[in-house]
């Protein structure tokens, strides 16, 4: 294993650890924690920093592991649908950051596309779990409320915070997604 491969694993492990512990700092009031989506931040960063395979894996594992370890989010349907959502975030962020020009504006473009894709995947998985497993309805209005309306504070936080962090890490030559 090369030094770069080892460093990518270390970054991914740090991002996974942050995804597990950040909700404790923000999530003491459940409504605030849900609104700010703290688990999303390290997963998106992982995709930007070390690439799509790591972002996908960290994104998929984080909510499932957190559910098993701490009981939050609840496994069904929360952690399962979040696993696909976060995996999409990490994957799309990693792919787009790799292929787009390395200009700061594209960090925002990448982030917004990744967030939109993840929220669409979350809605699809949530709909399928509701219909096929839970045998309940998951109407379009519930998807809009869960993916967008109720998530506005987190969306704003991510759009403000993540590009600044990526730019700072890029300037420090700590981004390994090439």
State which H helix or E strand residue 36 sits in: helix 30-36
Looking at residue 26, its pLDDT comes to 78
Is residue 74 within 8 Å of 82, Cβ to Cβ?
Answer: no
Taking the domains of the chain in order of start, what are their residue ranges? 3-171
Looking at residue 149, its pLDDT comes to 80
Looking at residue 12, its pLDDT comes to 98
Q: Report the interhelical angle of 40-50 vs 104-128 (nearest 10°).
A: 130
Q: What is the pLDDT along the chain (178 residues), one digit of tens a residue?
A: 569 999 999 999 999 999 999 998 876 666 677 778 999 999 999 999 999 999 999 999 999 999 999 998 999 999 999 999 999 999 999 999 999 999 999 999 999 999 999 999 999 999 999 999 988 988 888 888 877 888 888 999 999 999 999 999 999 999 999 7
How distant, in Å, are the alpha carbons of 84, 89, 140, 151, 156 from that of 160?
Answer: 24, 16, 28, 14, 6
- Residue that is written with structure tokens 């404790």 in the block: 24
Looking at residue 143, its pLDDT comes to 85
Q: Alpha-carbon distance 153 to 7, whole Å?
A: 32
Handedness of CA 153, 158, 72, 89 (dihedral sign): positive
Residue range 3-171 forms a domain whose CATH class is: mainly alpha
Is residue 33 within 8 Å of 66, Cβ to Cβ?
Answer: no
Residue 171 structure tokens = 């300037």
161 conformational bin, left if phi > 0, alpha if psi -120 to 50, beta if neither: alpha
Q: Report the interhelical angle of 40-50 vs 3-26 (nearest 10°).
A: 160
């Amino acid at each position: 294993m090369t030094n770069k491969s080892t460093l990518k694993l270390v970054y991914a492990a740090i991002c996974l650890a942050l995804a597990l512990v950040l909700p404790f700092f923000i999530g003491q009031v459940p409504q605030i924690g849900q609104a700010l989506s703290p688990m999303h931040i390290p997963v998106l960063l992982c995709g930007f920093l070390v690439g799509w395979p790591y972002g996908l894996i960290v994104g998929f594992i984080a909510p499932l592991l957190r559910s098993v370890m701490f009981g939050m989010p609840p496994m069904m349907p929360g952690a399962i649908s979040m696993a696909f959502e976060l995996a999409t975030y990490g994957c799309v962020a990693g792919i787009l950051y790799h292929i787009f020009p390395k200009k700061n504006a594209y960090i925002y473009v990448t982030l917004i596309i990744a967030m939109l894709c993840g929220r669409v995947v979350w809605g699809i998985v949530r709909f399928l779990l509701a219909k096929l497993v839970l045998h309940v309805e998951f109407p379009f209005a519930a998807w809009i409320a869960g993916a967008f309306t109720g998530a506005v504070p987190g969306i704003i936080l991510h759009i403000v915070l993540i590009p600044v962090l990526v730019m700072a890490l890029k300037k420090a030559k700590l981004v390994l997604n090439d």
